[in-house]
Structure 1
Amino acid sequence: MLIKTVFLLFFASFGACDPSVIIIGAGASGIAAATRLLKNGITNITILEAEGRIGGRIYSVRFGEGYLDLGAEWCHGEKDNIVYEMVKDLNILRHTQEFDPEMYHSKFKRLDQNFSNALLHTFDKLIAEPKKSASMGERLISRYEEVIDQWKNDPSVYAIAQEAIKFFEVYVIGYEGAFSWFDVSDDDDYMVSEGDLNLNWNGHGFKTILDLLMQKYPAASKSLPIDDKVLLNKEVHEINWSSKQAVVKCTDGSSYAADHVVVTVSLGVLKHQHDSLFQPKLPGDKIQAIKQLGIAAVHKVLLHFPQRWWNDSYGGTYLLWDKNDGKRISFSEGPVKDGVSWLTSMSVLLPVLHNSNILEAWIVGHFVPEVERCPDEVVINGVMYLLDYFGVVMENITWPDTIIRNNWYTNPHFRGTYSFQTPHTRRGIHSDAVILSEPLGNNGEKPNLLFAGEASNPTHYSTVHGAIETGFREADRIITMYK
């Protein structure tokens, strides 16, 4: 009799009113939400994914000796990091040996390594100073001349240090994922996880965290039935949340109704489509939050060479432009703005761990959308032109035979790489991220429209662990409604 009573109680909790849930997006937050729901007995789940694959901004592709990550690449920190907690006992993550790139100047070619290291150390100290301005750009420019005074007694070195502010700008916006350092708030709510901020996946790819969430790894026999819940190539064009059940319509003509819809699309998609995507339209404070949070993109380019022409000690190349050379170069392919080539937006070339014949270039700033649209051969030609122009001297430099890249900004399913706080972002306890995360709907205590994704994380935005936290958060919100 007791067993029967317990069974009936469980059935009353979930079985008699098994809520239906649609999750829009099969990235880290969407997969996290689905797995949490399944583990808590909510099984009526449909995941609508616009791409032909799962993973979202995690995009690990098999190549050569391991997996290459075209999106998220590093596990950032160890303490208070759900990604690290999930994998720490599986002997997967590795501490990354610090790169020591050589710095080249467009006019003076290779610079003294001691000066290069001192310059980078000065950058890092300047970034870490107290935040007193509206934007990072304002503060760093205002302080720059003062911090490079250490080289004032050597006019030639001092001139290079002055020109390095352009490299510094590219350095900053590449890290922040912005198009301009004036777009990035000087102070922010981001909480750094203690420990190694650049743990690598030892050739396994960031996709490993998805396999762990779905319990496909380390034992596939224990996997959750996520694959049965995912519908690929389902681009959503309307979410009607006006009734008790929300209705989701896709561009292929299909439609789905559910008690709850969890929206996990990127901030970039919300910026571009919120006005047409939601019926009725979102309330003003949520629209304001979407507008005031920031997202742009970096363009990661991976080049495979048939023969490796660099040695094991090669730590990469930083490119520092003479103030006039950006307008003097003869490379005619690809976009140009105000007489300056897109090549000036590439500042670094790095070796790729666990794929010994691959170099990785980062293109940042306002040129990113146009470079994403360039043919592969233009990008290859540009990178190789720069190696020659900057005088990178190595024997037997070969031409790459493969280029691997992904267009995060021009792809309408992403519209950016990761979010950041702008000078206009509301911060603190009522931050724009908090407002973005608040559920909507007139279904009493059971809202039918919920929001997840890294941009809705007040303190761990821009990260995979932040995205997973929000997926768990919204799943727990639904679970609590039916307890």
Structure 2
Amino acid sequence: MSEETKIVVVGAGFSGLAAAATLIKAGFQNVKILEAKERVGGRVCTTKPFTENIIELGANWIHGQKGNDLYKLAKEHDLLAEKALKDSSESSQDYFFKEGGKHLPDELADGVTSLFEKLTSKAFDRELPESYQDLTLGDYLDVSFAESSLADEEDGSRIFEWCKRNECTDEAVSSLYEVSASQESEYIARGGEFFNSLGPRGYQAILDLLLNDLPSGTILNNTAVKSIQWDKDEEEDHAVQVICENDQIFEADHVIVTVSLGVLKEHARTMFEPALPKSKLDAIDKLGFGTVDKIFLCFSERFWPEDCAGIQLTWDEGPEDKAVYSSEDEEDAWKETWFKKISGFDAVARHPKVLCGWITGREALHMETLEDSEVGDTCVRLLRSFTGWSVPDVSQVLITNWGHDPHVQGSYTFVPHHVNGVKESEALAAPLPSCSQESKPLQVLFAGEATHVNFYTTTHGAYLSGLREAERLINHYSD
């Protein structure tokens, strides 16, 4: 049966590649991956724009070591470069500056960032007092910080606002007042350090492990899917028909949809025939999908100290301030100060002359509409005014545009305030039809980081979701 069964996988990111590779290993011989882009990898994008060394435009880290399948895979195949990168980072530290060029004391920065980590850990570890359970993450942090002695120091408050702005990058949100404090506990962090220490081929090396398991011709690039017609007449040989933008048509018994939540938000109501059930459409609407972008600045010479891991910017009044975020005065006024959402500029491994700025939310989406030269000039101006150092003009600028990429439309998933993330992720992951229904079961399956209850936002969550759907089909044919 597995030799005759036709399976189409939509999307060649980690989830799609994992699903296809697992099915082929199990003996399924008619597996095709339809990928809208010219390249594979989805939100993993390893490039070499500046030197012979790689830059990660997308996924950057392996999130934790213990129990992390991708970490295990990378370690087994000697794809980590832990020692070289770890040794270089141990002797470096972040430099915090405030407007006007003052370098804030390292002791104060360490104290505030340590407190912030303890407070967020309580949310992630289900240790929130009952009185905080219904608060947004931003409100919980504000209340908790106000109770500390560090809140009495003006510069301490500046650094705390920076921490909140930096956390927006992890959450892929415009503001921490969008997300629930209690829902954070549904995300399970893998133990051990985050590793920005993949070897010289970066994340592409892990993708290649999966690609090596796929026969030639399995992946069809530049093949965007327009329509998935499922639950077809019982007399049809195959229950599903996949129609592509280039007018190609694929018959299938099962389709595994691994497109991003951003793409589903845009196309779910027109992409499927018959329409998706209300529970799934509601899940697509309720779950959040935010944008995180990187701004790479390549200079002709290094101007920051050797022990500087990053140049972090603190503002007198920043975009994460609740009053600023909630203001209804001049609705688009924030576009004039979009750059305030840049948390800072980090050193980049293997690139001694490159800094990477991080920006998220609505400000990131606005930045994507600007010319690269304008963004680069703005960043240089920030670096000069905050540090007081002699900062040369930037020689190359590289900016990601995940929010306006039509085949992604964002970066990763978050759970908004008052949304039950577990319920909605499970609804999103549910196959159609289920095995309990009379129609041919498991015609349309769903994978991707947004469908993983505990590991959403991560590459290992995407990878595991692909394995999950492959195993679902394998078990179906084994029963």
CA contact (8 A) 2:151 2:157 kept: no
Q: Which residue matches 2:172?
A: 177
CA drift of 1:103 comes to 0.3
CA drift of 1:75 comes to 0.8
Q: Tell me, in whole angstroms, the C-alpha distance in 1 between the residues paired with 2:77 and 2:452.
A: 27
CA drift of 1:200 comes to 1.6
Q: Tell me, in whole angstroms, the C-alpha distance in 2 between the residues paired with 1:310 and 1:391.
A: 10
- Structure 1 letter corresponding to 2:224: E
CA contact (8 A) 1:145 1:162 kept: no
Q: Which residue matches 1:19?
A: 5
SS at match of 2:96: strand
Name which of 442, 459, 463 aligns with 1:464. Answer: 459
Query: Identity over the aligned pairs, expressed in percent?
Result: 31
Q: Tell me, in whole angstroms, the C-alpha distance in 2 between the residues paired with 1:133 and 1:379.
A: 38
Which stretch shifts more, 77-86 or 306-315? 306-315
CA contact (8 A) 1:65 1:355 kept: no
Q: Which residue matches 1:436?
A: 428
CA contact (8 A) 1:180 1:366 kept: no
CA contact (8 A) 1:49 1:230 kept: yes
Q: Which residue matches 1:109?
A: 102
Q: Tell me, in whole angstroms, the C-alpha distance in 1 between the residues paired with 2:106 and 2:116.
A: 15
Q: Label 1:162 to 1:224 Cα distance change in 2 as closer, same or farther (>3 A).
A: closer
Q: Label 1:413 to 1:362 Cα distance change in 2 as closer, same or farther (>3 A).
A: same
1:66-465 equivalent positions in 2, closer than 5 A: 66-95=53-82, 96=86, 97=89, 100-107=93-100, 109-129=102-122, 130-131=127-128, 132-147=133-148, 149-150=149-150, 152=152, 158-187=153-182, 188=184, 189-215=186-212, 223-225=213-215, 227-243=216-232, 245-323=239-317, 337-338=333-334, 340-393=336-389, 395=390, 397-428=391-422, 431-441=423-433, 444=439, 446-465=441-460
Q: Tell me, in whole angstroms, the C-alpha distance in 2 between the residues paired with 1:392 and 1:203.
A: 34
The CA deviation string for residues 35-91 of structure 1, in whole angstroms up to 9 with x for no partner, is 011111112112111111000000001241421110001111112211011121333
Q: Label 1:45 to 1:151 Cα distance change in 2 as closer, same or farther (>3 A).
A: closer
CA contact (8 A) 1:316 1:348 kept: yes
CA contact (8 A) 2:116 2:160 kept: no
SS at match of 1:182: helix
CA contact (8 A) 2:8 2:254 kept: yes
CA contact (8 A) 2:47 2:54 kept: yes
- Structure 1 letter corresponding to 2:97: Y
- Structure 1 letter corresponding to 2:459: V
Structure 1: gaps of 5 or more residues: 1-12, 153-157, 216-222, 327-334
- Structure 2 letter corresponding to 1:435: A
Q: Tell me, in whole angstroms, the C-alpha distance in 1 between the residues paired with 2:159 and 2:48.
A: 37
CA contact (8 A) 1:336 1:342 kept: no
Q: Tell me, in whole angstroms, the C-alpha distance in 1 between the residues paired with 2:272 and 2:420.
A: 23
CA drift of 1:175 comes to 1.6
CA contact (8 A) 2:161 2:318 kept: no
SS at match of 2:394: coil
Q: Label 1:463 to 1:482 Cα distance change in 2 as closer, same or farther (>3 A).
A: same
CA drift of 1:281 comes to 1.2
Q: Tell me, in whole angstroms, the C-alpha distance in 2 between the residues paired with 1:367 and 1:279.
A: 36
Q: Label 1:392 to 1:43 Cα distance change in 2 as closer, same or farther (>3 A).
A: farther
SS at match of 1:319: strand
- What RMSD, in angstroms, separates the aligned Cα atoms of the two structures? 2.2
Q: Tell me, in whole angstroms, the C-alpha distance in 1 between the residues paired with 2:34 and 2:319.
A: 48
2:46 maps to 1:60: yes
Q: Which residue matches 1:10?
A: none
- Structure 2 letter corresponding to 1:345: K
Q: Tell me, in whole angstroms, the C-alpha distance in 2 between the residues paired with 1:171 and 1:108.
A: 20
CA contact (8 A) 2:432 2:444 kept: yes
- Structure 2 letter corresponding to 1:466: G
CA contact (8 A) 2:175 2:361 kept: yes
CA contact (8 A) 1:170 1:347 kept: yes
CA drift of 1:190 comes to 1.1
2:42 maps to 1:48: no
Q: Label 1:151 to 1:432 Cα distance change in 2 as closer, same or farther (>3 A).
A: closer
2:19 maps to 1:30: no
The CA deviation string for residues 10-33 of structure 1, in whole angstroms up to 9 with x for no partner, is xxx433xx1111111000000011
Q: Tell me, in whole angstroms, the C-alpha distance in 2 between the residues paired with 1:50 and 1:339.
A: 32
CA contact (8 A) 1:289 1:425 kept: no
**Number of residues paired by the alignment?**
443
CA drift of 1:290 comes to 1.3
SS at match of 1:51: coil
- Structure 2 letter corresponding to 1:126: L
CA contact (8 A) 1:292 1:425 kept: yes
Q: Label 1:85 to 1:325 Cα distance change in 2 as closer, same or farther (>3 A).
A: closer
CA contact (8 A) 1:47 1:229 kept: yes
Q: Label 1:239 to 1:392 Cα distance change in 2 as closer, same or farther (>3 A).
A: farther
Q: Label 1:325 to 1:259 Cα distance change in 2 as closer, same or farther (>3 A).
A: closer
Q: Tell me, in whole angstroms, the C-alpha distance in 1 between the residues paired with 2:361 and 2:117.
A: 20
Q: Tell me, in whole angstroms, the C-alpha distance in 2 between the residues paired with 1:324 and 1:481.
A: 53
Q: Tell me, in whole angstroms, the C-alpha distance in 1 between the residues paired with 2:438 and 2:93.
A: 57
CA contact (8 A) 1:190 1:461 kept: yes
Structure 2: gaps of 5 or more residues: 233-237, 321-330
SS at match of 2:60: coil
The CA deviation string for residues 123-151 of structure 1, in whole angstroms up to 9 with x for no partner, is 2122223332342112112222212x246
CA contact (8 A) 1:73 1:200 kept: no
Q: Label 1:110 to 1:236 Cα distance change in 2 as closer, same or farther (>3 A).
A: same
Q: Tell me, in whole angstroms, the C-alpha distance in 1 between the residues paired with 2:163 and 2:319.
A: 17
CA drift of 1:446 comes to 2.7
Q: Tell me, in whole angstroms, the C-alpha distance in 2 between the residues paired with 1:389 and 1:336.
A: 25
Q: Which residue matches 2:325?
A: none
CA drift of 1:210 comes to 0.8
SS at match of 2:288: strand
Q: Label 1:482 to 1:443 Cα distance change in 2 as closer, same or farther (>3 A).
A: farther
Q: Tell me, in whole angstroms, the C-alpha distance in 2 between the residues paired with 1:362 and 1:310.
A: 18
CA drift of 1:340 comes to 4.6
Q: Label 1:432 to 1:336 Cα distance change in 2 as closer, same or farther (>3 A).
A: closer
* TM-score w.r.t. length of structure 2: 0.87
- Structure 2 letter corresponding to 1:391: T
